Structure 1
Amino acid sequence: MTTVVVADDQGLVREGLELVLTARGCDVVGVAADGREAVEVVRRTLPDVVLMDVRMPVMDGIAATGEITRSGLPSRVLVLTTYDLDAYVYGALRAGADGFLLKATPPDRLVAGIDTVAAGEALLAPSLTRRLIEHHVRGPAPVVGRPAALAGLTEREHEVFLLIAQGLANDEIAEALVVSSATVKTHVNRILAKLGTRSRVELVVLAYESGAVRPGGA
């Protein structure tokens, strides 16, 4: 059972999330109404995942995320917010967040996201992946051709790489390729190692900067 701490400054939101998560098999081991309290609760309970709001008093969610990740705590942070502003996305990722979802995410998808992050994978809502893509394609033109490192990917790894670039999660990739999620996870880990990247976000950026995929289609 995945253990979770819910950090949000709105009591109704905290209670609602706790009910939703508990009903779907998560163990909510603590709640917090501000970023400072979130850090303290995480230190005390060491949950698998912290569901972190951004806009909170005393200490905001981005600062709290940074403090949790810098302190070496094993808990992973999934930022959940109403806002999809670029500054929040980049701030959360720079602070070390492992995932970023919007509060409009359906309950089942939220729980799946929590499980994804708890399993050690990074997660970005598809809409946020597109915003990151748009940010990078507004920069310098992509290099001509594929980096030499991409040539080292197997045919199946390249398929997975392109699907990651489209913002698909592991279970969605597994469904598209008719393989198990465990197989996809193995492919993702090999791709990360071969390309010298640390996260799915870096893979998305590489895919667009290299010209392997283009805005508006693969």
Structure 2
Amino acid sequence: MATYVLIPGAGGQAWYWHRLVPELQGQGHDAVAVDLPAGDDSAGLRRYADTVVEAIGGRTGVILVAQSMGGFTAPLVCERVPVDLLVMLNAMVPIPGESGGAWWENTGQAQAMADQAAREGRTVSVDFDPKEAFFHDVPPDVTAEAFSRPEPPQSATPFAEPWPLDAWPSTPTVFLQGRHDRFFPLEFQRRVVRERLGIPVDDMPGGHLVALSRPKELAARLEAHRIRTASL
């Protein structure tokens, strides 16, 4: 049995994983969805990592899955506890000394998002529309549930800090990307991941919130990577 530890993106809500958790449990695994202190202005990346480490506790066989902004936290966890596999899911990939705030311009995310919209015949709203960017492929009932919940706060503190590691951890790492992600387009991620990690990107159907839109398919892909890594 493996332990899947699931780190959410901005807003830090474990709820993001609520459709994936039963899929992983149904395959006989432990699944721990972490709530991060995203609304606390005193909490930076190291506090986020502390929260994940505490959630892991004494569990072993850890598969760490990091969504979006969670890519800044997960490598810090890998430096502190044994992790069998790190899965970066539609994630931000930092480099040493880079802040989350600087990442956007450094990687050219805004232009990549606009270019992708143009290729698809869409226009990017002047005022950011989360339904358009994130929920375009999420089932309507799940979308309605998400928008019925209070908007999750996200402190700017972790975006202001330089990423503290000197290098990427030695933990086996794979990158999984939704090929229909409008926020972090696939070809943009291929470039960033190649430049920063030197590994390929595995793509699957789905947008930025693939754990909400395609939990069954995501669980199957995670299992495939776990099994492949265990056999190496």
TM score, norm. by length of structure 2: 0.38
Q: With structure 1 as the length reference, what TM-score do the two structures score? A: 0.40
- Greater relative contact order (Cα < 8 A, sep 6+): 2
